Amino acid sequence: ETTGSPGVAKRRSRHAARLNMGASTDDIHVCIMCMRAIMNNKYGFNMVIQHREAINSIALSLVHHSLRTKALVLELLAAICLVKGGHQIILSAFDNFKEVVGEPRRFHTLMEYFMNYDSFHIEFMVACMQFVNIIVHSVEDMNFRVHLQYEFTALKLDEYLERLRLCESEDLQVQISAYLDNVFDVAALMEDSETKTAALEKVNELEDELGHAHERLAALEREAIAKLATLEAELAQVRQERDQLAEARRQVVEEVSTLRRAQQDSRNRQSMLESKVQELESLTKSLPRGASMGAISSHALCNGNGTPN
């Protein structure tokens, strides 16, 4: 069967349809399809992402006139972006794209295709928004994420997305909502940053005040400890003086008791003597006038001590 026969042409047409591509003469589209087939295999995927020139060539294929080819390129780039280390590889590829094409900003050409199109191609629009979502929102570092977001904001993506909200494509609306819902409000972040800075300054001020308060408290504690030691010494001295006074009081009480007993004994002897005197006076009065003092004494002795010797 010859090359120009109808059967061969028909088979080629069916083969092209299975590859989901345009005319067979479209070499770039065919190459991108081949790259997708290679990258469907894990080994092939790893080989591609290790070859920077291959990634750069895929990114440069965005200049192809076919929007379907552009969509396919963005799908491949998004897939690479999701693997470990792939994000930086894709950014490097677009840096190379910027240098080769002479863009004023990175992603400028891509946004031009996205916002200024001759015919609306939903597949390309969805692929483009999906790629932007992955490029911006797959980054963990918040500062870098804001930086990437600002790159697209500077290319007026935010304004254009507001106009696309009226688009009836559900797939496109999902991607637009995913982007807008995850966008960082830079003004709010700046306000939060200023608030945080003021709060940190206040915290530092309070920490300084707290440090001074701790120093004053430590000084007061030292002063209180010294004063407490002085008071304890004074208390010990007062207790010693109290004990001495208590001992002196005990001795005084004991002496007073002794003196009182002696006084009582003296009073008893005095009373007894007075009684004797009264008795003698009574005897003196009862004796005859001519009786001698010896008789009185003998009588007294008999009354007081018994019979004399």
Res. 5: pLDDT tops 70: no
Burial 129-154 (b: 16+ CB within 10 A, else e): bbbbbbbbbebeeeeebbebbebbee
| Torsion angle (degrees, nearest 10) of CA 12, 15, 17, 22 | -60
Q: Which residues contact 110 (CB under 8 A, 6 or more apart)?
A: 62, 128, 131
Q: What mean pLDDT is predicted for residues 182-195?
A: 78
| Torsion angle (degrees, nearest 10) of CA 25, 31, 37, 41 | 160
pLDDT value for 132: 96
Rounded distance, CA 308 to CA 302, Å? 7
Q: Which residues contact 137 (CB under 8 A, 6 or more apart)?
A: 145, 178, 179, 182
Average pLDDT for the chain: 84
Rounded distance, CA 74 to CA 96, Å? 16
Rounded distance, CA 279 to CA 273, Å? 10
CA nearest to 163, candidates 154, 145, 176, 153 = 176
Res. 11: pLDDT tops 80: no
- Say which residue, 12 or 109, is predicted with more confidence: 109
- The 3-state DSSP class for residue 111 equals helix
CA nearest to 138, candidates 169, 182, 190 = 182
Q: What mean pLDDT is predicted for residues 71-88?
A: 93
Domain ranges of the chain: 13-184, 190-279
Q: Which residue has the tokens 């709010």?
A: 188
Q: What mean pLDDT is predicted for residues 181-197?
A: 80
Rounded distance, CA 286 to CA 253, Å? 49
Burial class of residue 290 in the structure, from the number of CB atoms within 10 Å of its CB (0-12 exposed, 13-18 middle, 19+ buried):
exposed
- The 3-state DSSP class for residue 105 equals coil
CATH superfamily of 13-184: Leucine-rich Repeat Variant (1.25.10.10)
Is the distance from CB of 36 to CB of 72 less than 8 angstroms?
yes
Res. 308: pLDDT tops 50: no
Q: Which residue has the tokens 């010494």?
A: 233
Q: What is the DSSP string of 210-227?
A: HHHHHHHHHHHHHHHHHH
- Say which residue, 18 or 95, is predicted with more confidence: 95
Rounded distance, CA 16 to CA 150, Å? 41
- For 122-179, how does the pLDDT look when each residue is reduced to its tens digit (9 = 90+)? 999 999 999 999 999 998 888 899 999 999 999 999 889 988 877 878 899 999 999 9
Instruction: Note the pTM of the prediction, 2 decimals.
Output: 0.57
Res. 18: pLDDT tops 60: no
- For 207-229, how does the pLDDT look when each residue is reduced to its tens digit (9 = 90+)? 999 999 999 999 999 999 999 99
Q: Which residues contact 265 (CB under 8 A, 6 or more apart)?
A: none
φ, ψ for residue 270, nearest 5 deg: -65, -40
pLDDT value for 188: 75
